């Protein structure tokens, strides 16, 4: 059960909405059509003149409100909001929405129109996430933030499997009919059972040779990268993850992607250290420890107009420490962001070019099912 919000908008000739009387005429046309569509409702009709437009409430009761906004520049919007209880039929079918759009487009002589199917709000299960989400837990308690590029994705989520809040973030495991169980941190999608391609592209499966190599994973709390790397017979893997609760949740509800690697914190093949990755990197540097590969499975590239702020500072810190941990022929592998985030990807690459000693990088791409978009990955070595 949730509030259903259906949105319509129409572009009109601005000359037909320029005056108050013209906007009243447009509102009456809308009301007449709605009386046919919602014959079961007794439509009220109140109007108010606003700066640059007109606002009309065409129906309002305890469960349904229909409003119309007419802007002076020729934009008309109609919002239909109603509460839909479980098991009840929706107020409007898709056929009704489409028919109403087409009829009003004709009667209003609109050159462009659009309707959006119900946006479900206030339900117990949240089915909406943002694309190219930047999730920052960093494996460091000092910086926790989130950003996105303001595009909404609707998932076919049907079950909330797990929910808890750690000292660092809100943790959820939700089940999608097509993607399987999904790890969601602070309401941003991270990885799902469908996303083996993400892990394989990050590690360059079939391209990189991990046999007998020493590897450091920064972050990686879902366990997927560690699980897949161990199949490649490395000498040893150390993983630095700050959130114990994430690992417990993934071990129980996402073991199709992490196997049993999160059940133990130390074996002959690997060690999982729970704590601030930056502090442990400093310790490794002081001890002279070196790795063949360092994975940055932490922060996505911030979606921002300039490389400033705590998030970018953290990325630069990770760069600085990671290359001090790499052997001369070592490689730093990390994920970037959605390939549509061109400006932020360019900023990220600019930061790589500023590193001393100089580095060079290549990229690879993969469409990640649960992200519903193509993602960019980086492979960085000393120049």
Give the residue numbers annotated as catalytic, written as ranges.
297
Distance CA 218, CA 322 (A): 9
∠ CA 203-208-212 to the nearest 5 degrees?
100
C-alpha count within 13 angstroms, C-beta hemisphere, residue 338: 21
Residue 60 has pLDDT above 70, yes or no: no
10 pLDDT higher than 60: yes
- The helix/strand/coil state of 324 is helix
pLDDT in tens, 255-306: 999 999 999 999 999 999 999 999 999 999 999 999 999 999 987 787 777 8
pLDDT at 142 > cutoff 60: no
Give start-end residues of each CATH 2.30.140.10 domain in the chain.
128-190
- Please write the tens of the pLDDT for every residue from 145-154: 444 456 788 9
Locate CATH 3.30.160.110 in the chain.
Answer: 2-121
Going by CATH, does the domain composed of 128-190 fall within 3.30.1330.10? no
Mean pLDDT throughout 174-178? 97
Q: Determine the pLDDT at residue 134.
A: 43
pLDDT given for residue 143 in this prediction = 42
CA 36 to chain centre: 40
Q: What is the mean pLDDT of the chain?
A: 89
> What is the pLDDT averaged over residues 1-7?
88
Q: How confident is the model at residue 340 (pLDDT cuts 50, 70, 90)?
A: confident
Tell me, what's the pLDDT at 132? 55
The class (CATH top level) of 196-382 is: alpha beta
pTM of the model: 0.80
Q: How far apart are CA 293 and CA 288, in angstroms?
A: 15
Write down the pLDDT at residue 117: 85
Q: Angle 94-107/20-37 helices, nearest 10 degrees?
A: 150
Q: Inform me whether the pLDDT recorded for 357 exceeds 70.
A: yes
Is residue 48 exposed (0-12), middle (13-18) or buried (19+ Cβ within 10 Å)? exposed
pLDDT, one tens digit per residue, over 303-338 is 777 888 888 999 999 999 999 999 999 999 999 999
pLDDT in tens, 216-245: 999 999 999 999 999 999 999 999 999 999
What fold is seen in the domain 2-121?
Answer: Double Stranded RNA Binding Domain (3.30.160)
Contacts of 215 (CB under 8 A, 6+ apart): 229, 234, 236, 237, 238, 291, 292, 293, 294, 295
pLDDT band at 127 (very low <50, low <70, confident <90, very high): confident
Rounded Cα distance between 348 and 342, Å, is: 10
Q: What per-residue confidence (pLDDT) applies to 63?
A: 77
pLDDT of residue 301: 81
Nearest partner of 1 among 104, 92, 83, 113, judged by Cα: 83
């Amino acid at each position: 059960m949730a509030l259903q919000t259906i949105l319509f908008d129409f572009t009109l000739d601005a000359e037909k909405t320029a005056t108050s009387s013209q906007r009243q005429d447009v509102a009456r046309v809308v009301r007449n059509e709605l009386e046919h569509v919602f014959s079961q409702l007794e439509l009220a009709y109140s109007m108010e003149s606003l700066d640059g437009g007109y606002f009309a409430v065409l129906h309002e009761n305890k469960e349904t409100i229909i409003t119309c906004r007419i802007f002076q520049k020729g934009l008309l919007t109609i919002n239909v909001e109603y509460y839909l209880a479980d098991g009840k039929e929706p107020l409007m079918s898709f056929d009704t929405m489409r028919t109403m759009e087409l009829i009003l487009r004709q009667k209003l002589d609109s050159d462009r129109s659009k309707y959006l199917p119900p946006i479900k709000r206030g339900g117990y299960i949240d089915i909406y996430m943002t694309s190219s989400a930047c999730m920052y837990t960093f494996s460091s308690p000092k910086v926790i933030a989130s950003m996105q590029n303001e595009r909404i994705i609707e998932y076919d989520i049907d079950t909330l499997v797990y929910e808890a809040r750690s000292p660092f973030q809100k943790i959820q495991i939700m089940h999608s009919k097509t993607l399987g169980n999904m790890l969601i941190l602070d309401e941003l999608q991270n990885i799902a059972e469908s996303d083996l391609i993400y892990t394989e592209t990050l590690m360059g499966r079939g391209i990189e040779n991990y046999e007998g190599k020493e590897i450091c994973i920064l972050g990686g709390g879902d366990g997927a990268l560690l699980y897949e790397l161990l199949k490649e017979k490395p000498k040893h893997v150390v993983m630095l993850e700050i959130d114990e609760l994430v690992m417990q949740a993934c071990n129980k509800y996402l073991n199709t992607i992490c196997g049993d690697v999160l059940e133990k914190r130390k074996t002959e093949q690997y060690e999982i250290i729970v704590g601030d990755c930056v502090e442990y990197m400093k310790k490794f540097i002081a001890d002279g420890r070196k790795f063949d590969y360092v994975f940055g499975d932490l922060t996505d590239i911030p979606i921002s107009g300039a490389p400033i702020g705590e998030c970018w500072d953290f990325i630069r810190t990770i760069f600085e420490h990671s290359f001090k941990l790499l052997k001369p022929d070592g490689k730093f592998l990390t994920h970037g962001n959605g390939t549509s985030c061109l400006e932020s990807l360019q900023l990220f690459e600019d930061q790589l070019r500023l590193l001393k000693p100089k580095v060079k990088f290549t990229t690879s791409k993969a469409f990640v099912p649960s992200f519903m978009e193509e993602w960019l990955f980086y492979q960085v070595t000393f120049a």
